[in-house]
Amino acid sequence: MSKMVKTGVFVLLLLTVMVLPAMNVYSQEDMRAVDSSAFDCPIRPPAVFAHDDHNDTAGIDDCARCHHLFDDNGRKIEDESSEDQSCADCHAQEDKGTVPGLRKAFHWNCKGCHLQQRTGPVTCGECHVKK
Ligand code: HEC
Ligand code: HEC
Ligand code: HEC
Ligand code: HEC
């Protein structure tokens, strides 16, 4: 093989090893529902949530509107987001001090905004749609 071909093959291999897994991590555009496996014993069908389409239609630009971060005093850190973490990384099954439990965290976040903006689903069956 010529040196150029060898370099080409090497670069391709490098792309496969480094870029493809990184793209997999950022698969929120493929998300159609919120995974409920973080719950000890899920009883409802996973809530409908087409991540990117939802946020486009709803006009939410700030990732930290949902993927938030707080300092030790419970103050929201502006211009930073926790999009690389799942909600369950910080929200336990049950409430802990000022940190709401996981189910409450989802319901306050999702339903809270829908109620506030008077649009979007607020009844159980509209989000937890039976297949
Ligand atoms: C705006 C959307 C929305 C509405 C309305 C809503 N939920 Fe949820 N709920 C979620 C999301 C998101 C989760 C996180 C996990 C998932 O996708 O199921 C969740 C989680 C849950 C869980 C814990 C996981 C499980 O399956 O056991 C229960 C129980 C639940 N919801 C019940 C209800 C009930 C009862 C109602 C109506 C009173 C309701 N929800 C209304 C979005 C919603
Ligand atoms: C309306 C709320 C909301 C907004 C706004 C939002 N996300 Fe998400 N995102 C979620 C929820 C809910 C999940 C699922 C989290 C979980 O399961 O713990 C998620 C998951 C993700 C994941 C993990 C994907 C996967 O497949 O596991 C990434 C990456 C992500 N979001 C990036 C972003 C980025 C970047 C932005 C801003 C451009 C953003 N999100 C805005 C709610 C939101
Ligand atoms: C890095 C840790 C962390 C992650 C990740 C995280 N949270 Fe939180 N969340 C907190 C903390 C800490 C508080 C309590 C803040 C306070 O003391 O008032 C909180 C509070 C909340 C509250 C109540 C206060 C408010 O802002 O409405 C909701 C609702 C909530 N989280 C939903 C979510 C959802 C939904 C996700 C995932 C998309 C998520 N959180 C991801 C740490 C986190
Ligand atoms: C910051 C505000 C906000 C938050 C947070 C939010 N939504 Fe919404 N959502 C909206 C708005 C606005 C609409 C109506 C958009 C339109 O005009 O169709 C909507 C519509 C929806 C719809 C119906 C349209 C569609 O996209 O299928 C579903 C389902 C939905 N939201 C689920 C959720 C779930 C689940 C969560 C939490 C993980 C969530 N939403 C969090 C603002 C929000």
The string of pLDDT tens digits covering residues 62-114 is: 999 999 999 999 999 999 999 999 999 999 999 999 999 999 999 999 999 99
In the chain, pLDDT over 90 holds for what percent of residues? Answer: 79
The pLDDT assigned to 11 comes to 60
Where along the chain do its domains lie? 1-28, 31-127
Q: Return the higher-pLDDT residue of 24 and 66.
A: 66
What is the dihedral angle through the alpha carbons of 43, 44, 45, 50, rounded to the nearest 10 degrees?
-130
Check if the beta carbon of residue 87 is closer than 8 Å to that of residue 106.
yes
CA angle (102, 107, 113) in 5-degree steps: 135
Q: What backbone torsions phi and psi does residue 71 show, to the nearest 5 degrees? A: -85, 180
Between CA 60 and CA 13 the distance in angstroms is: 37
Atom number, ligand 4, closest to the C-alpha of residue 126: 29
Å from CA of 91 to ligand 3 middle? 7
Report which protein residue has its CA nearest ligand 1's atom 20: 103
The pLDDT assigned to 27 comes to 80
Residues with CB under 6 A from ligand 2: 26-28, 31, 34-35, 51, 55, 60, 63, 65-67, 83, 86-88
Mean of the per-residue pLDDT values of the chain: 89
Architecture of domain 31-127: Alpha-Beta Complex (3.90)
